[in-house]
Structure 1
């Protein structure tokens, strides 16, 4: 399989239709009735995957990066409402967001590694991990508009992100695993889904503290 780490442009081949449909899948994975497998094609005698522009299940970096930027803007605005905004606080939130993204990447990477698969391209995993910020944006926006809505939106975000990652890893990433153990496979998927709750609740807590 072609590894796209050397071709970052692959992850930015998107259009408006792709972005809309991808956001629906990430935010409402229960409603996705299509398949989750990526579309492959032969390129230069090797098996490759079609870019996001032609495959809704392909990972992209446009949405995660835009969501991360939006998350920082909303977080800064939220701090401003409470009179706590400062450039230092925004820098702190940037570091916190990057650490959370890194933890998510490591979670997915170690899960694949434990199954004997190290073949998934790193940027694929970075992209899948970054989709969590789309739901976080909604949760933070809800908190800004009406504080109590956050306590509904953040569990929903955790649940949907967990379902999205489980579906993705089951149909896409695990397809490249060299070994398969059904019971171990299922336990790892459950662990990935449950791990979204503490991680996203931590990221959704807009403060200048590392914890809460």
Structure 2
């Protein structure tokens, strides 16, 4: 029996598509598993006496931090532009004294078909191995902490043109758990007119 060559072509295409779909599903699963592991480790750290922002009474009743469900749509590859002149800026805090940061660069990304920009900072004094990205969005005061949240990112190479922003890893400042802490507030240039339902939610005792 002679088999039509188109049959083999169609079968090959199906196998190729199936391979890539399987690879995508496995990649998503690995990402979610890794994210859940990080969240569990953070929960465990909050239960410890040393380094936890929670006081003893809070730790006694603490179960887990609340999060939005993982969503790969909020892990974004953004365009990166490092500033040639890294000016210092005084960032307002929840206390009386501002903190000093370097304006390191800017990330531009697309979300819901709209373009947004975030300024990336680095601590001006003392060791700092990552970029600091304080931001506010339209979930603040609703599903997420009203004072805004933070995001960290690896420092790009000097010639880099892209940076990954993973909002699934957005986290609350310590003052969201305990008013005795003083925390930087997201500056006006990092207040986004869009909902980002990803990362950590409002903490409820």
Structure with more helix by fraction: 1
TM-score, scaled relative to structure 2: 0.30
Q: TM-score, normalised by structure 1?
A: 0.29
Point out which structure has higher relative CO (alpha carbons under 8 A, 6+ apart).
Answer: 1
**Bigger CA radius of gyration:** 2
